[in-house]
Amino acid sequence: MSKLLDGDIASETAAILAEEFYGKSELNQTKGTTRSAKGRPTHYKIVCISLYNEDIERLEAMVAELKQSGHTKANKSAVIRYALDAVDIGKMPRGY
Q: Quick: pLDDT tens for 18-69.
A: 777 777 655 555 555 555 567 888 999 999 999 999 999 999 999 999 999 9
pTM of the model: 0.57
Distance CA 68, CA 82 (A): 18
DSSP-assigned letter for residue 69:
T
Residue type for position 44: Y
Residue 41 region, left (φ>0) first, then alpha (ψ -120 to 50), else beta? beta
**Cβ contacts of 96 within 8 Å, gap of 6 or more:** none
Spatial contact of 29 and 15, defined as CB atoms under 8 Å apart: no
